[in-house]
Structure 1
Amino acid sequence: MSIVDIAEIETGDAHGRRLMGLDLGSKTIGLALSDVRHAIASPLLTIQRAKFTQDALRLQALIEEHDVGALILGLPVSMDGGEGPRCQSTRQFAQNFLARHDIPLAYWDERLSTSAIERMLIDDVDMSRGRRADVIDKLAATYILQGALDAIAHLKRTPR
């Protein structure tokens, strides 16, 4: 498959199947899953990064296990809208993964996702630093995926 626009994610392979959100970091990959109606995102797990091949195999196994029809990959755009080295690394990961696995993938602007989750965990939950480190990546993936799900729902309601 290829990289698709978020508006196209509901069609084809993703219809009636879960979506998986990814928060790609240099050391971890946070994962989240949607329900089959594409309404609610839930945290799944955090993968400790290894070599690309190992990461790709683990990700593919989870895609198959959870019947995922498409991926939503957080794109770490700068606050000014520019794309730096982290965006380039994310896009390269996507290209490499898509060369091995046939699945639609859409990017979602993840600006402030990790800081929003961290703020919530500190202010609302009063979670310790050590515990935050254990959950922040999968919660950031959930935040990314929920934003995309909300946008998809809005696109479905908006007449074209």
Structure 2
Amino acid sequence: MKVQPDTPGVDDPGQGRRLGIDVGTVRIGVAVSDRDARMAMPVETVKRVTGFKDRDGADIERLLHLVEEYGAVEVVVGLPRDLQGNGSVSVKHAKEIAFRIRRRSGVAVRLADERLTTVVATQALRSAGVSEKAGRRVIDQAAAVEILQSWLDGRHNNLKEM
């Protein structure tokens, strides 16, 4: 099944912070942008507890708290597709988290292409001298930074062209 991500800058909510989210089956990496939506920075890693049929758990509550705390105008959730653009079970997890945030926050929630972000994040941590063990604690945040920064760059380029 082909799954299409959203396009940065389309239906843009304007100035303000964005929250980037890398959804995993065990952990959720979170990143935030500056107020000018130019640069992504790591925030934290949230332990994943909510499944498909569960009520919103502590992970959803924490994500909603972060949306409010940072005053996010847009939430960007990574869409884990393969290199051919096909979805998997992980796509269902990402879409479920996106749905729950959208339903409860009222903030614009977008799905962003996240192909290879974990690979890029792992390489960046390794080249920064972060050990593999230490990297496991922050890899999800680093992937969220990659997802969000890619979105911010695409948004900036697309808004210039419009």
Could you state the TM-score of these two structures normalised by the residue count of structure 1? 0.88
Q: What is the aligned partner in structure 2 of residue 49 from structure 1? A: 48
Of 93, 96, 101 in structure 2, the residue corresponding to residue 97 of structure 1 is 101
- % identical equivalent positions: 27
Shift of 1:37: 0.9
> Which runs of no fewer than 5 residues in structure 1 stay unpaired?
none
State how far apart, in whole Å, the 1-side matches of 2:11 and 2:147 are: 15
Rounded Cα–Cα distance in structure 1 between residues aligned with 2:6 and 2:40: 20
Which residue does 1:87 correspond to in 2? 91
Offset at residue 126 of structure 1 (A): 2.6
What residue ranges of structure 2 are gaps of 5+ in the alignment?
51-55
User: Which of 127, 133, 138 lines up with 1:135 in the alignment?
Assistant: 138
Which of residues 6, 9, 30 in structure 1 aligns to 2:8? Answer: 6
User: Is this contact kept in 1: 2:8–2:158, CA < 8 A?
Assistant: no
Task: Tell me the secondary structure at the aligned position of residue 65 of structure 1.
Answer: helix
Matched residue, 1:145: 148
Where does structure 1 differ by over 4 angstroms across 4 or more consecutive aligned residues? none
- Would you say how many aligned residue pairs link Structure 1 and Structure 2? 153
Q: Distance in 2 between matches of 1:9 and 1:114?
A: 27
| Structure 1 residue 66 displacement after superposition | 1.0
Q: CA deviation at 1:5?
A: 4.5
What is the one-letter code of the residue matched to 2:79?
A: L
- State the match for 2:53 in structure 1: none
1:120 maps to amino acid: A
TM (norm. structure 2) is: 0.87
In structure 2, the partner of 1:25 is 24
CA distance in 1, matches of 2:156, 2:104: 30
Match of 2:67 in 1: 63
CA drift at 1:100: 2.4
